[in-house]
Amino acid sequence: MDYGLTAELLARMQFAFTVSFHFIFPAFSIGTASFLAVLNGLWLWKRDTAYLSLFEFWKTIFAVTFAMGVVSGIVMSYQFGTNWAEFSKRAGAVIGPLMGYEVLTAFFLEAGFLGIMLFGRKRVGDRLHMFAVAVVALGTLISATWILSVNSWMHTPAGYAIDAKGNFVPENWWEIIFNPSFPYRLVHTVLAAFLTTAFAVGGVGAWHLLRDPTNRQARTMFSMAMWMAAIVTPLQIAAGDLHGLNTLKYQPAKIAAMEGHYETRDGAPLVLFGIPNEVDERMDYSIEIPKVGSLILTHKLDGRIEGLKAFPEDERPPVAIPFFAFRIMVGIGLLMLAVGLWSLWARYRGNLYGDRRLHKVALLMAPSGFVAVIAGWFTTEVGRQPFTVYGLMRTSESLSPVAAPAVGASLTAFVVVYFLVFGTGVFYLLRLMGRTPTVDEDHDLEKGPIRTSGINPGPAEELDRARGKGHA
Amino acid sequence: MLDLATIWAGIIAFAVLAYVVLDGFDLGIGILFPFFRKRGDRDVMTNSIAPVWDGNETWLVLGGGGLLAVFPVVYATVLPALYMPIILMLLGLIFRGVAFEFRWRTRRASFLWDIGFWAGSTIAALMQGIALGAIVQGITIIDSAYAGGWWDWLTAFSVTTGIAVVVGYALLGATWLNLKTSGALQERSRRISLLTCIGTITLIGVVSLWTPFLNRTYFERWFSFPTAFFSSLVPLLIAICAFLIWQGLRTDKHLQPFLAALGLFVLSFIGLGISFYPYIVPGALTIQEAAAPQSSLLFLLVGAVVLIPIILIYTGYAYWVFRGKIDPHEGYH
């Protein structure tokens, strides 16, 4: 009774499920950590309580998100071994040290200063607290750097040799870390995290503006978010274009799948929409703009673009998922651009806080970054198939010696637990976001484990008290 | 003798030990939840570890990530062998990790997250102990791949080590509470410290007497020169730690019982190290066989040598910032 599901397919589903769920949290916490650092910096600089209360408002949300990111991330660090033992064995010597550096330079940094960031303002003073907030933000970025280097190496392997047993052996660490797709992927992913946060913050700001257009905190966060949307979206579109060109150079089969091209053509059209027909190897019902596909990818009207048929059948990725996921990502990107431009126009007209239609659209766009990020990852990761290390190691060779029932059982357990735990977590996050951000709210938000700072006297007070009691 | 592979085995062992003693006491807090029924007590208990638990758990990621980097074959054989306990441990850690935040985010369902915190902590500890027992009793590896069955890990021995770790973590948690709390809560944690101390030492004894009969290598290791010297010393050192715990609790010392409980774990861990060497997976893979290529070992070693001391310094600083007793009354305004 395996319903045709092999251990390999189940293990892939498990990885896709756990990593997608996991990435939702860092995609948000990378941006939020930097946002918090900016808010705290502005509070210390301008001493405007609006920034402090926004810091407290988003701090709690960050803490809940971060906790979910940590526990779902630990799963990832062990899943390579449980389900993908052959991959770990053969590629571990190359990617393992990069992950080791991620732990040493990022995870410990974040964990070590997170406590001080969340609970320690009164204990260590403003300056050290600001330092801790900045270090946590830096840690999230360092973490992204290493893990994207690992991921990029799996797409565009470099700097390795292969020994007699078929294991990858590192030859040149510089080439491994700075493999050809890494700079593009890093920029694209970090900007995506910033945009995800910007639209989430903008959506929350819009929600509160719709209820009370005079709320200063809501105005401040909405304004900051819309600046980000207006400035970062065009940068992201440019970065995405460069990333696409890089993919065309190193993984042309993936581009063919993303674009829905089966035939190799000079002056290929841009397929706006269609339904991939993998049996007859063509696009059904496709809507195309002539020549524009070549224009985008080669920056020439009659540039040559290889179609899927140019690649051996056993080296082609599936078409449907990259094709549709790519369109979802790009579509959302264009919507983000539209919102960013609209906000600039509203700002120019002096109507940023009064334009209720803009607020409603921004509210609808609140989850857009998450959808785009997951769609982007599906595009690139499914597009890498049928390989784990592109062109060198097949997914089918990467599996642990596990049986389908074992993988199926653990997959079921993960699905149940993730929906239960993280579903509840998202509910709590929405409730935290729904609270009206007021200036005196920071007392209210001190509830929870965050209270530790309030419970304990700071070092100075503690000393005074000890002296007073004559114990010192 | 002191080559890169051996140095790395030492670093991984250090990371695992750091994980065991650090996350040990905060998992212990979760294990002890049923013995403290008042909401206020539980708030103090979680608050005593809220600022540090995440850092404690990072050592587990270093252990896993480090193993993948420098002993990929071990990572690729031990994890499939321990498939089910590892997955259950991860699920347990998810429940307890989010419970820190979630139990504050709801009034109605708070008790559910308290249950999750207890169950998650207990399952994670039990599975870690079972995993340890399974490694000690041996893993079938043929041609650098796991070749055993799906239930090989489940034996009377591994269940015993599992229980031993749960009780041992409870001891760490109870002595941590003795250090961080005051009043009735501290009084109660003192009594629990005594009970779990007796339990831990009994179980250490059972496991230590059982282990040499699992496999000839262990037997010879423990009863031949020069390691027999250590094996005769261990009972004495354990007895000293036990005495320090008992004496500290009787004379109202706050730090000493916790440190002595950590001592019990360090001694047991050294004992394991002596049993294993030169193997990294007993009877199957030696440290040398399992090591990654030299360039991997060297590349990560540079970072480890520089960064681990820095990590220890700022982790120590974070503990220092949150030092002292948790005051329960200021929490209720």
Least confident span in A175-179, A337-341, B243-247, B249-253:
B249-253
Partner B contacted by A76 (CB < 8 A): no
Q: b or e along A110-138 (b: 16 or more beta carbons within 10 Å of the residue's beta carbon)?
A: bbbbbbbbbbbbbbbeeebbbebbbbbbb
Where in chain B are the domains? 4-165+176-206+213-324
Cross-chain residue pair A99–B86, CB shorter than 8 Å: no
Closest CA to A185 of A239, A235, A233: A239
Cross-chain residue pair B75–A88, CB shorter than 8 Å: yes
Nearest chain A residue (CA) to B69: A96
Cross-chain residue pair B314–A112, CB shorter than 8 Å: yes
pLDDT value, residue A4:
63
Partner A contacted by B319 (CB < 8 A): no
Cross-chain residue pair A421–B84, CB shorter than 8 Å: no
Q: Report residue B270: phi and psi, to 5°.
A: -60, -40
Partner A contacted by B147 (CB < 8 A): yes
Closest CA to B212 of B140, B157, B280: B157
pLDDT of residue B88 exceeding 90, the answer is yes
Q: Which residue among A68, A100, A403 sits closest to B66, beta carbon to beta carbon? A: A100
Partner A contacted by B259 (CB < 8 A): no
Torsion angle defined by CA atoms of residues B317, B323, B328 and B332, in that order, rounded to the nearest 10 degrees: -30
Residue of A15 and B321 predicted with greater confidence: A15
Cross-chain residue pair B50–A88, CB shorter than 8 Å: no
Taking CB atoms and an 8 Å cutoff, what residues of chain B touch A102? 65
Contacts of residue A428, defined as CB under 8 A and 6 or more positions apart, other chains included, come to: A64, B101, B102, B105, B106
**pLDDT tens track of chain A, all 472 residues?**
445 678 888 888 889 899 998 999 999 999 999 999 999 999 989 888 889 999 999 999 999 898 888 888 888 888 888 888 889 989 989 999 999 999 999 989 998 888 888 888 888 888 999 999 999 999 999 999 999 999 999 999 999 999 888 899 999 999 999 999 999 999 999 999 999 999 999 999 999 999 988 888 999 999 999 999 999 999 999 999 999 889 988 999 999 888 888 888 888 888 888 888 888 888 888 888 888 888 888 888 888 888 888 889 888 899 889 999 999 999 999 999 999 999 999 999 988 898 899 999 999 999 999 999 999 999 999 999 889 999 889 988 888 888 888 888 888 998 999 899 889 989 989 988 988 888 764 444 444 554 333 333 334 444 444 444 333 3
Partner A contacted by B235 (CB < 8 A): no
Q: Which residue among B86, B292, B321 sits closest to A123, beta carbon to beta carbon? A: B321
Best probe of the A interface among B42, B54, B113, by most A CBs < 10 A, is B54
What's the CA gap between A58 and A323, in Å, rounded?
36
User: What is the interface size between A and B, counted as CB pairs within 8 Å?
Assistant: 259
Taking CB atoms and an 8 Å cutoff, what residues of chain A touch B64? 77-78, 81
pLDDT value, residue A156:
94
Taking CB atoms and an 8 Å cutoff, what residues of chain A touch B123? none
Contacts of residue A387, defined as CB under 8 A and 6 or more positions apart, other chains included, come to: A393, A394, A395
Cross-chain residue pair A406–B84, CB shorter than 8 Å: yes
Nearest-neighbour CA in chain B from A414: distance (Å): 8
Partner B contacted by A419 (CB < 8 A): no
Nearest chain B residue (CA) to A407: B83
Q: Which two tokens stand for residue A55?
A: 């810091």
Residue of B220 and A428 predicted with greater confidence: A428
C-alpha atoms less than 13 angstroms from C-alpha of A329 in its C-beta half-sphere? 24
Q: Which residue among A96, A403, A410 sits closest to B296, beta carbon to beta carbon? A: A96
Partner A contacted by B331 (CB < 8 A): yes
The residues in A 366-405 lying below 8 A from B, measured between CB atoms, are: 400-403
Angle at CA of residue A400, ends A396 and A404, nearest 5°? 80
Q: Which residue among A77, A116, A455 sits closest to B326, beta carbon to beta carbon? A: A455
First to last CA, chain B: 61
Would you give the distance in Å from CA A338 to the centre of its chain?
22
Contacts of residue B134, defined as CB under 8 A and 6 or more positions apart, other chains included, come to: B81, B82, B85, B152, B153, B155, B158
pLDDT value, residue A263:
86
Question: Which residues pair with residue A283 across a beta bridge?
Answer: A276
Nearest chain A residue (CA) to B105: A428
Question: Which residues pair with residue B281 across a beta bridge?
Answer: B285
Partner B contacted by A114 (CB < 8 A): yes
Q: Which residue among B46, B66, B79 sits closest to A81, beta carbon to beta carbon? A: B79
Least confident span in A207-221, B247-261, B312-326:
B312-326
Q: Which residue among B68, B100, B299 sits closest to A170, beta carbon to beta carbon? A: B299
